Amino acid sequence: MTDYDVIVVGGGPAGSMAAYSAASKGAKTIMLEKDRDIGYPVRCGEAVSDTGLRQFVEPKPEWIAATIKKIRMRSPDNTIIDFKSLMAGYVLHRRIFDYALANRASQVGAEIQTRAYVDGLIVEDDIVKGVKYQYMGEKRTLKAKIVIAADGVESRIGRMAGIRTAIKLHDIESGYQVTVGNIDIDQEMIDFYVGKNWAPGGYLWVFPKGDRMANIGLGVVGSKAKDYNSHDLLHKFLKEHYPQAAMLTSVCGGVPVAHTLKQITGNGIMLTGDAARMVNPVSGGGIVSGMHGGKIAGEVAMEAIAVGDVSSKGLAEYPKRWRKAGGKNHEALHRISTSIKDITDDELNRIALRVSKIPREERSVLKIFTVVAKEKPKILLDVTRAFVGA
Ligand SMILES: Cc1cc2nc3c(=O)[nH]c(=O)nc-3n(C[C@H](O)[C@H](O)[C@H](O)COP(=O)(O)OP(=O)(O)OC[C@H]3O[C@@H](n4cnc5c(N)ncnc54)[C@H](O)[C@@H]3O)c2cc1C
């Protein structure tokens, strides 16, 4: 006897999408979230592309803090490159957005329980059969045919099920971000700073949040984090660039810029979103990829339940569909991200100088990439190998 068909652990974008897709296919579903609120605390720059989002939901005005039309990048020697973005983007209010995704799942029948901290799995005959969790200090258990672990970058559920979830230091970025008020910035522009004086092995971002606010943060690659401290680098930047900024929130968190895990299923269990390392390794964006992973996980879960095979073999469609939907690109992006990390500050400066000579109206991500490839042919080779399979 089971209490549910599907238990989803974690109420982020991946969890809510998994709950939505399982419940909308008729699975009796519950989503357990350890925090008091869905969507809070927000540990995210909240940037997302319109096309990415639109694959799953119609963007609603109340989710959007700022609409992005322009991109600006700065090299280590402060050469500025700006251009119009061909693709519209948003900086979201994730607090509202995550809520809306969870609400959407509830409207197709998924139950939601907050303050439910999952601290163990029920395993019988090597098959995950449910979860143990604490609700307001009380120990509880729930049984299900499938558990979907959408418990984020610090995921423990996968490990509890015996899945290797460890990430190498050069595949994780240590992120620190503040949301600030009282600053004057172009609310249609996202700003990136690259180079080791801003964010060694990663980048620093300034994302507008409307009403003279912004998310300002940076990620330092894990292998350099012992020499560079994200918190200190960001505060140095704020002092130099936005001394008048009022700190409204500060958050820190890891961004897995890694390969998707080799194993994302076990008997009775599936991993999705950050827990499965589905973040775009180049941009560090994990909202859309997590939604994608969650959607596929929920669908496959219900199909496996319908045919009565929830073993890892019965769930094999999940990694297959993820790879087809984006996983293959994901591997390509991981290779590119590794090459990007090797670009020196001198090379970045040379690239920026070359791009700055392209008339502004002709600049685009593709043009910049062409210049990068000239400076660093290995990247071109990686991209070709990755996308063409050469
Ligand atoms: C500083 C920073 C900036 C970022 N900026 C961007 C950006 O601009 N754009 C972008 O696309 N991505 C960004 N990301 C990445 C993005 O935030 C994540 O990829 C995304 O949130 C992943 O969604 P998820 O549902 O997999 O995990 P999460 O959103 O992390 O959700 C996991 C949920 O599981 C819950 N949970 C964890 N353990 C348990 C447990 N044991 N029991 C119950 N619940 C549990 C957590 O409380 C959480 O609510 C950023 C990340 C960081 C750290």
In this predicted model, what pLDDT tens digit does every residue of 69-97 receive, in sequence order? Answer: 999 999 999 999 888 887 789 999 999 99
**Contacts with 195 (C-beta within 8 Å, 6 or more apart), sequence order:** 75, 76, 345, 348
Whole-structure pTM value:
0.94
Determine the Cα–Cα distance for residues 58 and 338; give it in Å rounded to an integer. Answer: 34
pLDDT of 235 above 70: yes
For a mutational test of ligand 1's pocket, the pick from 55, 141, 151, i.e. the residue with the most ligand atoms closer than 8 A to its C-beta, is: 151
Determine the Cα–Cα distance for residues 198 and 213; give it in Å rounded to an integer. Answer: 21
Q: At residue 76, what is the residue type?
A: P
Protein residues whose CB sits closer than 6 Å to any atom of ligand 1? 9-15, 32-35, 43-48, 117-118, 150-152, 156, 175, 177, 217, 253, 255, 273-275, 279, 284-287, 290
Mean pLDDT calculated for residue range 99-128 = 98
Mean pLDDT calculated for residue range 132-140 = 95
Q: Is 123 helix (H, G, I), strand (E, B) or coil?
A: strand
Q: Which of 334, 322, 329 is nearest to 265 (CA)?
A: 322
Provide the pairing of β-strand 265-266 with 127-135: unpaired
Q: Tell me the two tokens of residue 79.
A: 């050469």
pLDDT of residue 390: 33
Question: Mind listing the pLDDT tens digit for each residue in 245-277?
Answer: 999 999 999 999 998 999 999 999 999 999 999
Is 171:231 a contact under the CB 8 Å cutoff?
A: no
Is the N-terminal amide bond of 41 cis, ω within 30° of 0? yes
DSSP for 215-246?
A: EEEEEEEGGGTTT--HHHHHHHHHHHH-TTPE
Residue located nearest, by CA, to atom 3 of ligand 1: 44
Q: Which helix (H) or strand (E) holds 374?
A: helix 365-375
Q: Which of 305, 303, 304, 279 is nearest to 291 (CA)?
A: 279
Residue located nearest, by CA, to atom 41 of ligand 1: 118
Kindly indicate the confidence band of residue 366, based on its pLDDT and cuts at 50, 70 and 90. Answer: confident
Q: Which of 173, 174, 112, 155 is nearest to 272 (CA)?
A: 155
Q: Which of 299, 281, 7 is nearest to 170 (CA)?
A: 281
pLDDT of 243 above 90: yes
Kindly indicate the confidence band of residue 228, based on its pLDDT and cuts at 50, 70 and 90. Answer: confident
Of all residues in the chain, the percent with pLDDT exceeding 90 is 74
Of all residues in the chain, the percent with pLDDT exceeding 70 is 96
> Domains of the chain, with CATH numbers?
4-43+95-167+258-315 (3.50.50.60), 67-87+170-256 (3.30.9.10), 337-388 (no CATH)
Kindly indicate the confidence band of residue 382, based on its pLDDT and cuts at 50, 70 and 90. Answer: low
Q: Tell me the two tokens of residue 120.
A: 């163990």
